[in-house]
Amino acid sequence: MAVTLDQELLDILACPSDDHAALRVGTPADPDADVLTCTECGRQYPVTDGIPVLLLEEAVRPEPDPK
């Protein structure tokens, strides 16, 4: 199920890491995932029952690109 947040709220939410970048709905691989993804560091924050959980300890760090 895709995250459904008010656009005004989504516009003001930011990653709580030092990057403080904007968040986007879903992941690059799954735009309908129930997460918000940081546009800078790539951390993925879960959205539980429509509520974003913006805690660093709850975030999933992105996998490094294999080269």
pLDDT of residue 56: 94
Residues 33-47 have pLDDT tens digits of: 999 999 999 999 999
pLDDT of residue 66: 63
- State which residues of the chain have pLDDT below 50: none
Residues in the chain: 67
Judge whether 30 and 63 are in contact, CB under 8 Å. no
Q: Using CA atoms, how far apart are residues 65 and 21, in angstroms rounded to an integer?
A: 20
Q: What are the structural domain ranges in the chain? A: 7-58
SS3 60: strand
- Strand bridging mode 23-25 / 44-48: unpaired
Q: Using CA atoms, how far apart are residues 6 and 26, in angstroms rounded to an integer?
A: 15
Backbone φ and ψ for 51, nearest 5 degrees, come out as: -115, 120
